[in-house]
Structure 1
Amino acid sequence: GAYVRPAIRLESGAKSALDPNRPITITPYVGEEAAGIDLTVADVTTIDATRTFWDKVVIAHGLRRW
């Protein structure tokens, strides 16, 4: 096999917690320095910011001390 795998997996939380989501194209910062090489990755499934915002609100609510 290859020394470096051609893919990575980033996970946080439950695997079923992917809604609402949307596909985006990711361009790494190093892509700006690597002229002539296309390092973009298309159709990466990401969780909408509204979802992560409400996750943080629920966490903050659970941590409150009245």
Structure 2
Amino acid sequence: MAHGSGYETEDSSANGCEDDSSGSLAWNHMWLFCEVLFLLITTLFTNMVNKEQVKVNTHRARDEYQE
């Protein structure tokens, strides 16, 4: 428990180290967030396109059926 006496100084220096690592960590989180956002947007866009395509196909099939 020798480290217990110098815990506060170690903690403050650890915070200093954390600031450096959290900077890159925040960048990693931001990169991950951007990636997830990009995937979400592309997924939603693909779903919208597919729904529109289904509508078009449904209307086309309905028109062919009525003729």
Work out whether the TM-score is over 0.5: no
Q: Which structure: greater helix fraction?
A: 2
Q: Which has the higher strand share?
A: 1
Determine which structure has more spread, i.e. the larger CA radius of gyration.
Answer: 2
Higher relative contact order (CA closer than 8 Å, sequence separation 6+): 1
- TM norm structure 2: 0.30
Q: Give the TM-score taking structure 1 as reference length.
A: 0.30
